[in-house]
Amino acid sequence: KEMTRGVVRTAARGTIPLKISQKVARKSAPSTGGVKKPHRYRPGTVALRESRRYQTSTELLIRKLPVQRLVREIAQHFKTDLRFQSAAIGALQEASEAYLVGLFEDTNVCAIHAKRVTIVPKDMQLARRIRGERA
């Protein structure tokens, strides 16, 4: 639409007076009836806030019980009826999470190097290969 001196020009109808076009616009847009929409953050705001939160925190991010079950399941393959101190499982979890965080950091660097913001499996494979974990 193009506006000049109180006239609205449209491609379909030519020119119509401004007052009529305002009335048409007012009639076609129904009011919401005073119902306020719930507040929503813009896309990415909450993600950035979560990133900052997890970067500053030191608590474990994986639940303790699933890790404990996994440790016991893996240990079964080596020797049956093994017993673990809770501190031992806690130390394994700390080390595992530290390893994973470092691996994801390197994976992210590989994705950025490839001019992407999304990590893909080949980024993680490259990160592990550079680290010398997998030939």
The stretch 32-45 carries a mean pLDDT of: 90
Q: How many domains does the chain divide into?
A: 1
**Does residue 80 fall inside a structural domain?**
yes
pLDDT in tens, 56-92: 999 999 999 999 999 999 999 999 999 999 999 999 9
pTM of the model: 0.70
- Whether residue 71 is contained in a domain is answered as yes
Task: For 76-92, give one letter per residue: b (16+ CB within 10 A) or e.
Answer: eeeeeeeeeeeeebeeb
Is 51 inside any structural domain? no
d(CA 104, CA 127): 9
Report how far apart the first and last C-alpha atoms of the chain are (Å, whole number). 63
Average pLDDT over residues 12-23: 61
Domain assignment of residue 90, yes or no: yes
Answer whether residue 66 is part of any domain. yes
Give the domain extent around 124: 61-131
Q: What is the pLDDT of residues 90-124, one digit of tens each?
A: 999 999 999 999 999 999 999 999 999 999 999 99
Domain presence at residue 3:
no
pLDDT class of 134 with cuts at 50, 70, 90? confident
Is residue 116 assigned to a domain?
yes
CATH, residue 106: 1.10.20.10
